[in-house]
Structure formats: structure tokens, C-alpha cells
């Protein structure tokens, strides 16, 4: 399977997906750590891909997403953004609403 197909499948197969450096329990960069904290504060489960362990994804996702940096948060197949956007959305309450709706839709299907 082509790496872009793999990325597409990951995004379509997970209603809440974070591409990050490291894992939620052991983030490998400050931006990933901040994004994970905001996401975990929403209280829903989410999938993640460690781009450090997946160099093909690391090099191809920026082209696929047209977004150059990591982390990248995807909800319901749509790129939400990186650390700054996710943090702002968390502070405004917008992130929690989006995450709860995505989790509810996933558990309903």
C-alpha cells in the first residue's frame, strides 16, 4: 500500500487522530506535549501516530495535509491544525465541543 493511502486510511479510520512526536504518555517535543494536554483535557479517547517511529509518514504527511509542521490534529477527516490552534480552541471551549461530538458520532456508528 502506498504511504499516502496509509495516511488517508488512518485519517478516515479514526474520528480523532493526532500525528505527534512520541506518544501521549511520552511526548518527544513541547508542542506535542501541549497538544496532548489540551486533547486529554477533553476526556475522550483518541488515536495517535508517532511520526518519529514512522519516517515515511513524517515526510509525506505535510504534503498530504498541506501543513508543514507537527503535531497535526485531525477530527472527522479534517485537519484542525497544530499546537497553537489546538491550544486556542481548548482555551475557548471549542475543542471540547468538537472532540465530544466526534467521539459521540464514533460510538453511535
DSSP result, 76-101: TTEEEESHHHHHHHHHHTHHHHHHHH
Percentage of the chain exceeding pLDDT 90: 94
Q: What is the pLDDT of residue 106?
A: 84
**Residue with cell string 497544530:** 82
Is 45 labeled as ligand-binding? no
Is 56 labeled as ligand-binding? no
- The pTM assigned to this predicted structure is 0.96
**Residue with cell string 499516502:** 4
State the pLDDT confidence band at 107, using cuts at 50, 70 and 90.
Answer: confident
The domain limits of the chain are: 3-100
- Burial (CB count <10 Å: 0-12, 13-18, 19+), residue 45: middle
Q: What is the rounded average pLDDT for all residues in the chain?
A: 96
* 32-54 pLDDT per residue, tens: 999 999 999 999 999 999 999 99
Is 42 labeled as ligand-binding? no
* CATH architecture type of domain 3-100: 3-Layer(aba) Sandwich (3.40)
Is 58 labeled as ligand-binding? yes
Amino acid at each position: 500500500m502506498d504511504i499516502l493511502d496509509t495516511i488517508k486510511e488512518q485519517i478516515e479510520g479514526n474520528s480523532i487522530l493526532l500525528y505527534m512526536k512520541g506518544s501521549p504518555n511520552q511526548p518527544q517535543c513541547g508542542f506535542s506535549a501541549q497538544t496532548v494536554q489540551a486533547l486529554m483535557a477533553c476526556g475522550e479517547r483518541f488515536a495517535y501516530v508517532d511520526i518519529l517511529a514512522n519516517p515515511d509518514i513524517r515526510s509525506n504527511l505535510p504534503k498530504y495535509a498541506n501543513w508543514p509542521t507537527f503535531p497535526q490534529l485531525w477530527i472527522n477527516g479534517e485537519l484542525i491544525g497544530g499546537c497553537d490552534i489546538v491550544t486556542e480552541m481548548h482555551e475557548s471551549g471549542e475543542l471540547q465541543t468538537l472532540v465530544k461530538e466526534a467521539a459521540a458520532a464514533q460510538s453511535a456508528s
